[in-house]
Structure 1
């Protein structure tokens, strides 16, 4: 705030204003409205000038995903709003806005917001932060089906249950993520996932028989093998696994992060990424 102003005439048609008292107001913290305003200012100053009609659309989308993020952050971890002053978090917010402004898909924005929340609340583990940052950049390069396949790989091959569950619960969770007939056969589908950094495809394979034999101890059913051979479409999942690049695929740290976030979105199962991603 300027006070006691003095005017100095310095020539025809010009006026300089000099203040000899300046008061600087400092705030100890940020609230959600301030974070929202700063984030939108950053977005508008960096996104391309695409014309009035397109500009309104991209700004609407940027505000939409920002509001979704701030609302969820306030619900889950209100104290973490202070972390948005971190330049790395601020950049991540901008990347999420930019991605949603370009694609405008709600399923993708939900994934981006979930991972952005994790990135905002995680301030201590450098490796986890790097993985989450990479996930935010890779998700916009994938289709929902590709993301669902990553989640299927994680559920089928990586998820270790803390306590025994029924085979029916395991099958139903997988079926919520992706239907067996939706799993593609063509190699280029999996090569794109490898190119994007979500998985690696090796010469060696992990057969469905080996995986399910290792899983039997996690189920509480009395007789697992007859159940597997006849339960719903589960034999089709096994056939798909053994006859596509699924059996040759291993998830990267980024692939695991994306898969876990998608599993939460589709089933409500909330898994701790740090159980699988750590130094």
Structure 2
């Protein structure tokens, strides 16, 4: 959460008790107020004063965030790479005063402070601090929309639960997303996304990710169904007189088949039946629109743009993840490492 706290010259405004933070906070105060001021010294007096105030706000918010998430990481602020990241982040916020940008930068900077391994995640976090200031709040949410459609699987046990997940995670992202060719081209130009040859529509993304929730059912007397063990089937979620493969998606099905040591032939038949007799794309988008009304307008713009061809880079993933934490106010809580594995 972005906090606008402000105190006197010698106060740290740290709402943390019984935490031994050593000299870490002093290091932050020095970096934020002294080194940053040297960078901003070329600005006019009024600009310098405003940027100084913003740096102070940013520093306090960052320290408090870090103390909540990983108080032991405060010692990492002594590292030159972390100090460079701090200066980049506070400079970006000081120049704009944009609270959405400030919120993203605090989250990304805290993650960068915690990550002392020189790996893809650390590099992506550092680069994201630079790129974040080149995007609008609406473009952050555009990245989060791609993130949800292409890279995330919202865990749900039934259709009502999936609908609630949409309200919690998809709705706030869709409400802010900017989906035009200009936005798409900008996301590519800033290194947040890359173009793929084969586009994907919004309803097809849901059909691909959640096939078990959009199945219209199979005839229980179907020849293929009869050839397979009953344990793989259950009542259709949308038509109790029919059956469906009793798996929400291909990963759940694969685990079940592996556990039961299914034959190669049975595996192929089950994989085909999982995606058989699915809802039409138009019906899918209409159902989603009944839960998240703004998706209709976004879907129309998506179809007329190159957004369907975009997939996220590591930098785009970092920004999308931080933004969705912001707009869902913590309802989306999957850690970044899930989406940027290092091994």
Pairwise TM-score range, normalised by the shorter structure: 0.7 to 0.9
- 1:219-234 counterparts in 2 under 5 A? 219=213, 222-223=237-238, 225=279, 228-230=285-287, 231-232=289-290, 233=293, 234=295
**Contact 1:58–1:102 (CA<8 Å) still a contact in 2?**
yes
Q: Distance in 1 between matches of 2:143 and 2:297?
A: 17
Q: Distance in 2 between matches of 1:183 and 1:101?
A: 25
Q: Distance in 2 between matches of 1:100 and 1:161?
A: 32
> Secondary structure of 1:141's match?
coil
Pick from 296, 303, 318: which aligns with 1:257?
Answer: 318
Q: Does 1:60 align with 2:53?
A: yes
How far residue 67 of structure 1 moved from its aligned partner, in angstroms, is 0.9
How far residue 63 of structure 1 moved from its aligned partner, in angstroms, is 1.1
Q: Which residue of 1 aligns with 2:29?
A: 36
Q: Does 1:248 align with 2:309?
A: yes
Pick from 187, 198, 206: which aligns with 1:212?
Answer: 206
How far residue 73 of structure 1 moved from its aligned partner, in angstroms, is 1.1
Pick from 171, 174, 179: which aligns with 1:178?
Answer: 174
CA RMSD of the aligned region, Å? 2.4
**Contact 1:164–1:219 (CA<8 Å) still a contact in 2?**
no
| Aligned residue pairs, count | 250
Comparing 65-74 with 133-142, greater Cα deviation is found at 65-74
Larger % of strand: which? 1
Give the TM-score, by structure 2 length. Answer: 0.67
Q: Distance in 2 between matches of 1:37 and 1:164?
A: 50
Comparing 116-125 with 247-256, greater Cα deviation is found at 116-125
Q: Distance in 2 between matches of 1:228 and 1:170?
A: 16
Q: Which residue of 1 aligns with 2:117?
A: 124
Pick from 71, 81, 86: which aligns with 1:88?
Answer: 81
Which structure would you say has the larger RCO, counting Cα contacts within 8 Å and 6 or more residues apart?
A: 2
Q: Which residue of 1 aligns with 2:107?
A: 114
> Secondary structure of 1:116's match?
helix
Deviation per residue, 1:218-256 (Å, 9 max, x gap): 759933945642442244444443332111111111001
Give the TM-score, by structure 1 length. Answer: 0.81
Comparing 235-244 with 95-104, greater Cα deviation is found at 235-244
Describe the shift of the 1:72–1:93 C-alpha distance in structure 2 as closer, same or farther (beyond 3 A): same
Pick from 95, 100, 113: which aligns with 1:102?
Answer: 95
Q: Does 1:277 align with 2:340?
A: yes
Q: Does 1:167 align with 2:228?
A: no
How far residue 135 of structure 1 moved from its aligned partner, in angstroms, is 0.4
Pick from 186, 190, 198: which aligns with 1:192?
Answer: 186
**Contact 1:264–1:271 (CA<8 Å) still a contact in 2?**
no
Q: Which residue of 2 aligns with 1:141?
A: 134
Contiguous gaps of at least 5 residues in structure 1: 1-27
How far residue 209 of structure 1 moved from its aligned partner, in angstroms, is 4.1
**Contact 1:164–1:218 (CA<8 Å) still a contact in 2?**
no
**Contact 1:161–1:218 (CA<8 Å) still a contact in 2?**
no
How far residue 51 of structure 1 moved from its aligned partner, in angstroms, is 2.3
